[in-house]
């Protein structure tokens, strides 16, 4: 099976694996990203594998990618989630809070060491009303292997556990408008 690189390499899969670089730089995907970011100057900032083994409680809590990416302005960034296997409700596909990107950066908390939370610091949106609204209005995004979705760094999203007999594997690709985005002070 696939294994996830560790350390900083965890977010540089496209530099370690030719297949990941091919996905991240595919003409169709890059064209869509350029259109969304309204620029020709696009950079692959990071990539990582999102792997959920079969029959696991592993989940990703409600969060925004902007919270821990260390980029500013985060509004000039987009995440592509590329399905390497089918992503279904049963195996924990992404769930989005539609329109949540318009709120900009919302407060997050860390350290809720939920054993099965796949986010490295167990980050999550801190406001319970925001979580309740996201949950009640959520949209499930089921993808077939080979399909991709795009979402703003500000989009509040999560994914549930994998209750299926099959692995759910995706490649998260973070693109930035290279002419506008810089690392935030104090971040790499």
Please give the residue that has the higher pLDDT: either 5 or 123.
Answer: 123
- Residue 9: pLDDT band with limits 50, 70, 90: low
Residue 80: partners with Cβ closer than 8 Å, 6 or more residues away: 24, 29, 32, 33, 148, 149, 150, 172, 173, 174, 175
Q: Comparing 13-22, 107-116, 171-180, which segment has the lowest mean pLDDT?
A: 107-116
- The mean pLDDT of the chain is 86
Strands 124-125 and 108-109: antiparallel
pLDDT tens digits for 103-162? 888 877 776 667 787 776 667 777 777 787 777 889 999 999 999 999 999 999 999 999
| pTM reported for the whole predicted model | 0.86
Share of the chain above pLDDT 70, in %: 87
């Amino acid at each position: 099976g696939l294994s996830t690189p560790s350390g900083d390499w965890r977010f540089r899969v496209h530099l370690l694996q030719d297949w990941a670089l091919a996905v991240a730089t595919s003409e169709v995907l890059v064209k869509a990203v350029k259109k969304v970011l309204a620029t020709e100057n696009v950079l692959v900032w990071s990539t990582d594998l999102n792997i959920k083994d079969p029959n696991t409680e592993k989940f990703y809590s409600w969060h925004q990618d902007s919270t821990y990416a260390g980029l500013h302005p985060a509004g000039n960034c987009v995440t592509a989630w590329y399905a390497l296997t089918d992503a279904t409700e049963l195996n924990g596909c992404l769930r989005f809070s539609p329109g949540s990107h318009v709120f900009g950066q919302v407060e997050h908390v860390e350290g809720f060491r939920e054993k099965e939370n796949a986010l490295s610091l167990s980050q999550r949106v801190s406001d319970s009303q925001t979580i309740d609204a996201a949950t009640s209005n959520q949209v499930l995004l089921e993808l077939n292997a080979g399909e991709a979705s795009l979402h703003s760094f500000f989009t509040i999203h999560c994914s549930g556990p994998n209750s299926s007999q099959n692995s759910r594997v995706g490649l998260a690709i973070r693109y930035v408008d290279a002419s506008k985005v810089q690392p935030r002070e104090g971040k790499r």
